[in-house]
Structure 1
């Protein structure tokens, strides 16, 4: 009998432990961060800003907003921990960072270096590594956080959805950055975002500030930003890395122009290493596409004309990608394409001889680009109306 009582007591104790929610704080009782912003502070310190949700104003019963659904909080400190402590003192609720979607980094801080800031961000147990990150081109993080969007009020949500819309890496940006930061054969990158103005309404003098993705920031081994790519060059990089889900090419052709929407994009990189350690990389890119616009007298229903379209798009893609690679080699000298990782996987012994001076080997390497673009859909109209009205 005593044995049965003893077992029952053990069972009840286990239940108490398994329930485990007696000390939890409900989500609606915490200060939920949507985004964080990091800038250079006074006396070379750090300025931290947060975009924090106002739960009561998110949505009323009729589906409309009751008021502003977020607010911005900011303070400075010698490091992230110091700044966050000062910010927590201004909040009536404990900060919750588990739903934070994005980090914004001011350009000045990015060029100063962000290795110290990463330690705090990655050390917190409730922070998700699957987070989008942006460097604010020519501006500060707090200014981006204060920009609203006509469709998505918080700038954090607007930036995330825009990044997804154009085919960026999205929530893997931070994880990719950390992986590259710990690699010898791949240098880190972070997408750029900038504040720009757009016309609103019929009055051409009335303009509204919005944020838009503006390319890519290139970082060196010390995690300092040392270069930038524009958005077209960024897409070239993503194609080489195998991250690009879609792409649009527009090219002059004959006496007009044409546009192709690409999908099913893929990439292969083949290194050729000579005894003198001179390296040649063969970059092979491919994709299939839909003819989106045809402002020429060519008829894509004709096999010969279709081949001319494909030739023009292949030449354009090859020229653009090769130009991007050469720009990175000459201006920043950082292997953001992962060429070193390709050698590491193919010949680990050879990589040991190259990795310590890889930045130099990368800038001196020859790169050859080939493209294989096929048009598999010409649309439903056949030849252009230009062709129908007298073209041949």
Structure 2
């Protein structure tokens, strides 16, 4: 009798163990999200890009370039719970967010403030903090969701891979939250925009367009591609990048690919002064030489290196000037450097940092090492002469 009871119990375990499992055919895979302000500016407008199911019941894949590999649904609401309820009503399948790779925030919403947007992603366990976040420059975020990309079946995956390329800013929700809550630094995110302006979304492309600087969860301003490269170098996030320099006395231009970059920030705080010295290191190869100089000559290589160092220094000083004097936002984390090395001094400066940072003295030093320079001699025209 006891044996029969155990067998009946075992049967119930097997038939009831997966009662709440959801099959793939019951899921709608969200690949991207866009957040905008409604036309009247009083509500949030959320748009989801959802991968289209294939005829076999899974998700469409491959490289056919079909324009029907995704569809968009949108809903307005005052909070995330209301929006999700409305979006779910528009989908016959359960919305599944674990495959979402990116969240777009329109520039208009970012300037208005994204506190309400962040609450959606912090309190809902269905959202992954490894999802990337970007600002859409000059247009609605949902416009990017609607664009096709010729090299990817689902275009949002193309954005994710572009972000991971190494010379563009890639920021996840987790990165943004950490920066927002850290001492002495404000968050920065990547920026994207349409590359070809056309009314037909299938004929448009997108491109990465720099970075967005945030303060108090509001967009303070934008940085262009070159300024973003300088910011990434100063914040020690640069994997590789390109620098172009004009040689003195009109001797032409040279270009360098930086493949190894490093930085060190030295902090000096006096009674009434704050000074920082940024020491930048870089190694790479010369990839362009539109001059008549033979770089096998040590003096010419020294001249080229100096020109590239000056160009890199100007690039970094330009971005420092912009965030320090124009936006007045410590996006680099100079305050964090004080906090880490002199917490007692930071306790005094913390409440004054918004006014002290724009007046801080910041010096920049650059040291470059060019390797493989023998592969690029003087320009073809000069050598032919």
TM-score, structure 1 normalization: 0.89
Quote the Cα distance in structure 2 between the aligned partners of 1:189 and 1:382: 39
Q: What's the offset of the Cα at 1:308?
A: 0.9
Does the 8 Å contact 1:236/1:320 carry over to 2?
yes
Match of 2:174 in 1: 175
Q: What's the offset of the Cα at 1:381?
A: 5.0
Q: What's the offset of the Cα at 1:382?
A: 3.9
Does the 8 Å contact 2:338/2:346 carry over to 1?
yes
Deviations 1:200-259 (A, max 9, x none): xxxxxxx932111111111112x0111111111011111111111001011112421111
The DSSP-based 3-state class of the residue aligned with 1:55 is coil
Match of 1:75 in 2: 75
Equivalent runs, 1:46-125 vs 2, <5 Å: 46-56=44-54, 59=60, 64=64, 68-125=68-125
Q: Number of residues paired by the alignment?
A: 375
Quote the Cα distance in structure 1 between the aligned partners of 2:366 and 2:241: 14
Match of 1:204 in 2: none
Q: What's the offset of the Cα at 1:24?
A: 1.1
The DSSP-based 3-state class of the residue aligned with 2:195 is strand
Does the 8 Å contact 2:67/2:148 carry over to 1?
no
Distance 1:167 1:16, change over 3 A: farther
Deviations 1:355-390 (A, max 9, x none): 112111111101000001110111535444344233
- Name stretches of at least 5 consecutive residues in structure 2 with no aligned partner: none
- Select the residue among 241, 252, 258 that pairs with 2:254: 258
Task: Indicate yes or no: 2:344 matched with 1:349.
Answer: yes
Deviations 1:90-147 (A, max 9, x none): 1100100011000011111101100111111122223211111111111011111111
Does the 8 Å contact 2:51/2:60 carry over to 1?
no
Q: What's the offset of the Cα at 1:168?
A: 2.7
Distance 1:210 1:42, change over 3 A: same
Give the superposed CA RMSD: 2.7
Match of 1:185 in 2: 184
Quote the Cα distance in structure 1 between the aligned partners of 2:183 and 2:203: 43
Shift >6 Å, 4+ stretches: none
Task: Indicate yes or no: 2:245 matched with 1:243.
Answer: no
Quote the Cα distance in structure 1 between the aligned partners of 2:377 and 2:213: 43
Equivalent runs, 1:144-293 vs 2, <5 Å: 144-165=144-165, 167-170=167-170, 172-197=171-196, 208-221=203-216, 223-253=217-247, 254-276=250-272, 278-293=273-288
- Name stretches of at least 5 consecutive residues in structure 1 with no aligned partner: 200-206
